[in-house]
């Protein structure tokens, strides 16, 4: 079967760092994606990892370990506008995206 | 901005009526997708298209049909709406060609459908 797990909800403080984990078991693997979704809006693309290691984009970084079926999204210097849901998705053997249920991130002042 | 629009943005309909949602793109992308999003679930693929008149089923296709007669338009039809189809529906396109090294998807603004 195909399964993607991520925590349902996390809380962090403005200015701090938070790590959102994602574990996956899929029938194929063609990369891992992270999306951000603000309440009432569409998901927006954040990052893509296909090789092991860390990809950094400003305040956001994404890490992948294919052998462990594991990824994380690291958000630094948290701002109130980072309050959103973060969706993990895996590209399967047909390049379709299999989605996790998302992690709701709450930022407190 | 991937140039994707959806219409209508909100709709309330009655059980048993047919409903058609429209997705329109302006950038000539080959792949288009219809998803539904419900609390506690990830995005679930309903149908997708890989070209004009070329479509295939996703994991939750029962009760839905699609059509793509032009590159820019992808229609989703609920043949006889049921309360279980109350959801937010997103259309997406897949990046392709050029210098793209990945195949991320870009989403339209969504349609909130309520079936009473």
Q: Output A54 or B97, whichever has higher pLDDT.
A: A54
Residue B70, pLDDT score: 96
**Across-strand partners of A54?**
A63
**Average of per-residue pLDDT across B67-92:** 97
| Cβ-Cβ contacts under 8 Å, B40 against chain A | 101
pLDDT of residue A103: 98
Query: How many whole angstroms separate alpha carbon A45 and alpha carbon A83?
Result: 16
Best mutation target, A7, A8, A40, A43, to test chain B (most B CBs within 10 A): A43
Which 42-71 residues of chain B touch chain A by CB within 8 A?
Answer: 42-45, 48, 58
pLDDT at A27: 85
Give residue B101's pLDDT. Answer: 61
Q: Closest by alpha carbon to A105, among A38, A44, A49?
A: A38
What is the average per-residue pLDDT within B83-100? 84
Beta strands in chain A (DSSP E): 3-5, 9-13, 18-25, 32-37, 44-49, 53-57, 60-65, 70-75, 84-91, 97-99, 103-108
Q: What per-residue confidence (pLDDT) applies to B42?
A: 86
Q: And the tokens for A90? A: 């895996």
Has residue B96 got a pLDDT over 90?
no
| Average pLDDT estimate for B11-25 | 98
Pairing outcome for strands A3-5 and A18-25: antiparallel
Residue A84: its pLDDT value, please?
98
Among candidate residues B75, B79, B49, B50, the one with its CA nearest the CA of residue B62: B79
pLDDT at B81: 97
pLDDT attached to residue B87 = 98
Q: Is B104 on the interface with A (CB under 8 A)?
A: yes
- Which residues in chain A show pLDDT less than 50? none
Q: Which residues of B touch A6 (CB under 8 A)?
A: none
In this predicted structure, what is the pLDDT of residue B71? 95
**SS3 assignment, position A82:** helix
Q: Which of B42, B104, B108 sits opposite A99 (nearest CB)?
A: B42
Determine the longest span between alpha carbons in chain A, in angstroms.
Answer: 43
What distance in Å separates the CA atoms of residue B96 and residue B101, rounded to the nearest whole number?
Answer: 8
Query: What is the per-residue pLDDT across A19-33, written as a single tens digit (0 to 9) for each?
Result: 999 999 988 899 999
Mean pLDDT of B26-43: 93
pLDDT, mean of residues B51-64: 95
CB nearest to B42's CB, from A50, A95, A101 = A101
Cβ distance A42 to B40 less than 8 Å, yes or no, reads no
| pLDDT for residue B97 | 56
Task: State the pLDDT at residue B72.
Answer: 96
Pick from A42, A96, A101: CB nearest B45? A96
Please tell me the predicted confidence (pLDDT) of residue B2.
64
């Amino acid at each position: 079967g195909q399964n993607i797990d991520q925590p349902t909800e996390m809380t962090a403080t403005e200015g701090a760092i938070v790590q959102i984990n994602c574990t996956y078991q899929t029938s194929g693997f063609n990369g891992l994606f992270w999306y951000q979704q603000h309440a009432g809006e569409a998901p927006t693309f954040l990052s893509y990892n296909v090789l092991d290691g860390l990809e950094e984009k400003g305040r956001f970084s994404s890490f992948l370990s294919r052998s462990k079926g594991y990824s994380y999204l690291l958000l630094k210097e948290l701002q109130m506008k980072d309050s959103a849901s973060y969706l993990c998705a895996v590209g399967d053997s047909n390049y379709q995206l299999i989605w996790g249920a998302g992690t709701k991130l709450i930022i407190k002042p | 901005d991937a140039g994707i629009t959806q219409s209508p943005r909100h709709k309330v309909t009655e059980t048993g009526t047919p409903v058609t949602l429209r997705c329109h793109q302006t950038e000539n992308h080959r792949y288009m997708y219809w998803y539904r999003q419900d609390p506690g679930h990830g995005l679930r693929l309903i149908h997708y298209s890989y070209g004009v008149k070329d479509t295939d089923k996703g994991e939750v296709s029962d009760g839905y049909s699609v059509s793509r007669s032009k590159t820019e338009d992808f229609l989703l039809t609920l043949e006889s709406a049921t309360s279980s189809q109350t959801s937010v529906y997103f259309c997406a396109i897949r990046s392709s060609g050029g210098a793209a090294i990945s195949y991320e998807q870009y989403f339209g603004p969504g349609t909130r459908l309520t079936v009473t």
